[in-house]
Amino acid sequence: MIAKVLQSKNLYRAYRQVVGNQGSAGVDGMEVNGLKFFIDQYKPSLVTEILSREYVPKAIRGVEIPKSNRKTRLLGIPCVVDRWLQQGVSQQLAVQFELDFEEESYGFRPGKNLHGAVTQSLNNINDGYQDIVDIDLKGFFDEVQHYKLLQLIYNKVKCPTILWLIRKLLRAPIQINGKLHKRRKGLPQGSPLSPLLSNILLDKLDKYLKSKGLKFVRYADDFSVYTKSKAEARKVGNEVYLFLKNKLELPINREKSGIRRPTKFVLLGHGFTPTYGKREKGDYQLVVKKGSWENLRRKLKGITKKTLPYSFKVRLYKLREVWMGWINNYRLANIKSKLIKLDEWLRNRLRYCIWSRSTGRKSQCGNVKI
């Protein structure tokens, strides 16, 4: 398989993908626009180093990024060259594994997306499976055991050199505030290879749930199982807990896990609420959870601050980018009435903030609750 990874056609496709994704520089400071020069100059020697197993990946740059709950998540940014190699490996691994993945897996797969996951969840609930086992994996990307993952890959591809390369990429140290930290488990969030590797490992969970005849939905490490009674939900929850603990060595977050009814269940920012139309008794529809509305409002408010040195054109562009991205994400939910109210708030805020900046007066932007 290593020959297919290092094939010029595969590496060129990986190069286009990395450049298209852009992204920040790693610890070596190389930007994506410097990758072409590197490939032109050093590709033959790099291939030789990999085939002779002498290649040493550079450290991963660790960056803390804010989460919606005001906590932070550690993002790992590999160097551009390592991202290029990881993308090449990912493309060939996907050829081997993709067809074996289960239909209920929606994250980071061609033809699958968030909308498919929430639609399937809604269908399960409306079919009467309304006692939901909601399990939160505790720090999944930090807890993945490398040896289990590498064994699953070797069982499929039987290529020692590709296993060696993946292991080297996984064990590259991470640099946080200038200090290097060893890594003996976990997948760096921000790596082109991590999404596929997470699906390879959690596919074992998918197949376990499938063998039990259970209805479930999984999007990356976010998964839920749908049952018709609390007793069944408790039994399934205990079985899944033991499987994760004993077979995959993955801990769960007990505080965030539990058995939910639809109105208390949140999936990928979406909530579920009963409908009250004719012939719709017992049916549910998608809504957007309160925190997602607050995040959108916070972002829009930040862009319309009069202290930011944006021109009117740039400000409108940034507003449109955030607005349309959010609507696309939640387009299946019932959001029309709240969007109208939010649009009114945004227009008033933009009008007043621009006026106050031009006159030098303090703005009194409208405060509409949503």
- What is the pLDDT at residue 216? 97
Within 8 A by CB and 6+ apart from 165, the residues are: 2, 5, 50, 55, 85, 89
Tens of pLDDT, residues 173-199: 999 988 999 988 999 888 999 999 999
Question: What is the DSSP annotation of 306-317?
Answer: TTS---HHHHHH
- Using CA atoms in the order 177, 183, 189, 192, what is the torsion angle rounded to 10 degrees? 120
Please provide the distance, in angstroms rounded to a whole number, between the alpha carbons at the two ends of the chain: 54
Of 109, 105, 182, the residue nearest 146 (C-alpha): 182
Q: Give me the pLDDT at residue 370, please.
A: 39
Position 277 scores a pLDDT of: 64
DSSP symbols for 18-78: HHHH-----TT---GGGHHHHHHHHHHHHHHHHHTT---PPPEEEEEEE-TTS-EEEEEE-
Sequence-distant (6+) residues with CB within 8 A of 66 are 72, 73
More confident site: 360 or 161: 161
Model confidence at 342, pLDDT cuts 50, 70, 90, reads confident
Determine if the pTM surpasses 0.85: yes
Report d(CA 162, CA 58) in Å as an integer. Answer: 18
The pairing of beta strand 131-136 with beta strand 222-227: antiparallel
Banded model confidence at residue 280, pLDDT cuts 50, 70, 90: low
Give the C-alpha separation, 277 to 255, whole Å: 36
AA letter at 222: D
- In this prediction, residues 92-119 reach a mean pLDDT of 95
Q: Which amino acid belongs to residue 40?
A: D
Q: Could you report the per-residue pLDDT of 208-238, keeping only the tens digit for each?
A: 999 999 999 999 999 999 999 999 999 999 9
The structural domains of the chain, ordered by start, are 1-264 (3.90.1850.10), 289-359 (no CATH)
Q: Are 284 and 275 in contact (CB under 8 A)?
A: yes
Given pLDDT bands bounded at 50, 70 and 90, which one contains residue 148? very high
Tell me the one-letter amino acid at 112: K
Task: Give Cβ neighbours of residue 350 (< 8 Å, ≥ 6 apart).
Answer: 304, 315, 319
> What whole-number distance in Å separates Cα of residue 337 and Cα of residue 164?
55
| Residue 279 reports pLDDT greater than 60 | yes
Give the residue from 300, 222, 231 showing the smallest Cα distance to 266. Answer: 222
With CA atoms as reference, report the closest residue to 135 among 55, 202, 50.
202
Give pLDDT, residue 74.
85
Q: What's the rounded mean pLDDT across residues 48-73?
A: 86
Of 82 and 356, the structure prediction assigns the larger pLDDT to 82
CA 275 to chain centre: 30
Instruction: Taking residues 320-327, report their average pLDDT.
Output: 91
